[in-house]
Amino acid sequence: MRYQIVLSKMTGWTLRCLIPVVCFTVSLMSQEGDQAKAPVSPSVVHATAILGFEGISNNTNGELSVQGDNLVFKPAGGPITRITIGSIQGVFLTQEDKEVGGTPLALGRAATPFGGGRAIGLFAHKKYDFLTLEYLDSNGGFHGAVCQLNKGQGQALGSELEAKSVHVSGLKDDAQRLETKNEAK
């Protein structure tokens, strides 16, 4: 009887220890999966419209691309938004850390005992590029839009817009630093 109790206690402890490890592994796998799925072509990039795109609700996933004289955001479902490149006043590129896994992982972290959730939080994050657009509508009204892209894609899209005479600022220094590092190697 005592052996059974000890055994069940040990199983409980093992499970408690394993849950954070499993959550951590899953989060790492999801990060790797995302990186592997990043589109190769710079012209069409997977993006999340955080806010400011007319007719598109906040945090909508879709594809952002430069098509002719337009910057096009094509959501997974629903109407396409086109912004005339000539109306864009400026583009800003930044990079920021964000948590991955959304609400399910947040709940998992909260439920993990012995502070395991904090340990998961330490690793369950990823760097994203943020593309901020400032443009004018046909009536002269100022608009702002923020897009979240996978790391590295912001600069690619920024360069494409820069080639079309759009003023792009930010992130370039990082790219230049990388170039100089590569040259040094």
Task: Tell me which residues touch another protein (CB under 8 A).
Answer: 50-52, 92, 94, 96-99, 106, 109, 118, 121-122, 124-125, 130, 132-134, 136-137, 139-146, 170
Which residue's CB is nearer to another protein, number 5 or number 110? 110
The nearest distance, CB 108 to another protein, in angstroms, is: 12
Cα–Cα nearest to 134, from 121, 124, 146, 143? 143
The nearest distance, CB 9 to another protein, in angstroms, is: 30
Say if residues 24 and 119 touch (Cβ distance below 8 Å). yes
Which residue's CB is nearer to another protein, number 173 or number 183? 173
The nearest distance, CB 7 to another protein, in angstroms, is: 34
What's 124's DSSP letter? S
Which residue's CB is nearer to another protein, number 44 or number 136? 136
Say if residues 126 and 158 touch (Cβ distance below 8 Å). no
C-alpha–C-alpha distance, residues 16 and 28, integer Å = 19
C-alpha–C-alpha distance, residues 28 and 20, integer Å = 12
Which residue's CB is nearer to another protein, number 97 or number 183? 97
